[in-house]
Copies of this chain bind each other. A is one copy, B any other.
Amino acid sequence: MRLTIEHTTGDGARAGRLELAHATISTPAFMPCASHAVVRACPPHLVAGLGIEVMICNAYHLWQRPGADIIGVMGGLHEYMSWPGALMTDSGGFQAFSIGGNSGISEEGFAFRSHLSGELLQLTPEVSIRIQNQLGSDVAMVLDECVAYPAERAYVADSLGRTARWAMRCKHAHGREDQALFGIVQGGVYSELRASSAQMTVDIGFDGYAVGGLSVGESRQEMLAALEAVMPHLPVDAPRYVMGVGTPMDIVECARRGVDLFDCVLPTRNARHGSLMTWQGPLNIGRREFVTDERPLDPNCSCPACRRYSRAYLHHLHRAEEAAGWQLLSLHNVRFYVELMERLRAAIAGDSIAQLAEQLSPWTQRDNE
């Protein structure tokens, strides 16, 4: 893995290229969620057609179905999905924790019941790394505890130590040379704890660093403060990833502070609810006003929905709950994020992030809702 930084701004934003085992991607990059080895409603070749270079899959879900060993036998996730780009995997900790009923965390790992088979299972740092090794993603993540918001300082502080010990066990268990391993910084909204977690994680030493536990309910101000507490501690030459973030404005504000990688379910989940992103602002396709609107969602967008179909037809497909509509709207929103990242990289190269943030002002209201 190699990060080449081509442009930086005074703020600390950076744009460049990240060479991974299966593909080189432009950064800052957005990764759509392909938790079950597919972006919901969108076969991989259609996602590739939008310009997406990297996706994130979920170790928990793929462990449960079809099984990490199955994907290993098939030559790894890239081959299994026929995906030409790069792939990251999440550790599965968040899912084991939340699906398993918020219980069963111990020094050893997570104990939980499979939501599919009902079987009692353990997700430890070693198990998560074994799964991700079998999946063969370009980047694996350490197992961590994503602390909920709000959380008491004492609980967060206590959790940090365990997360650091797990990170060490993950690093020890990790065997694949063609797979990068990222550590994860936690610490809730407590700047001191964030800084201390960052330092512990960097001391262990990883190929890249993620900031987890953000976009879980805190305000944007709290989120950016937590991020700012972390960034000075991270090495400049390693990629930085903010997990689960976020809205267009969140992404711009995080990139401004030096983040290289993002993932979020927003584009596809919003599409399912008819909530679309355009450069003219948000648009809810289910609204009655679109029933005879002959215009495309966004005249400048190159996605299949905008190139071929009217708002009226997309309104109809959405109201009729047709899967074809869900797909077209998802492709549009994912394409919006591709273009957002293109504009963001250009803005970093041209030192004009403030103007890009201004262009996103139609979004600000919605972001804060």
Contacts and interface: CB of A to CB of B under 8 A. Distances in A.
B70 A324 contact: no
B324 A74 contact: no
A147 to B, nearest CB: 29
Given A66-B316, A304-B45, A73 B292 contact: yes
Contacts of A320: 36, 38, 65
Contact of A40 (B40, B81, B316, B322): B322
25 contacts: A36-B316, A37-B316, A38-B322, A40-B322, A41-B327, A43-B309, A43-B327, A43-B328, A65-B316, A65-B320, A66-B312, A66-B316, A70-B292, A73-B292, A74-B292, A74-B312, A80-B310, A80-B312, A80-B313, A80-B316, A82-B308, A323-B326, A323-B327, A324-B327, A327-B327
Interface of A: 36-45, 65-66, 70, 73-74, 80-82, 291-292, 294, 304, 308-310, 312-313, 315-317, 319-320, 322-328
A64 to B, nearest CB: 10
A41 B42 CA distance: 11
Nearest to A43: B324
Contacts of A39: 324
A44 B309 CA distance: 10
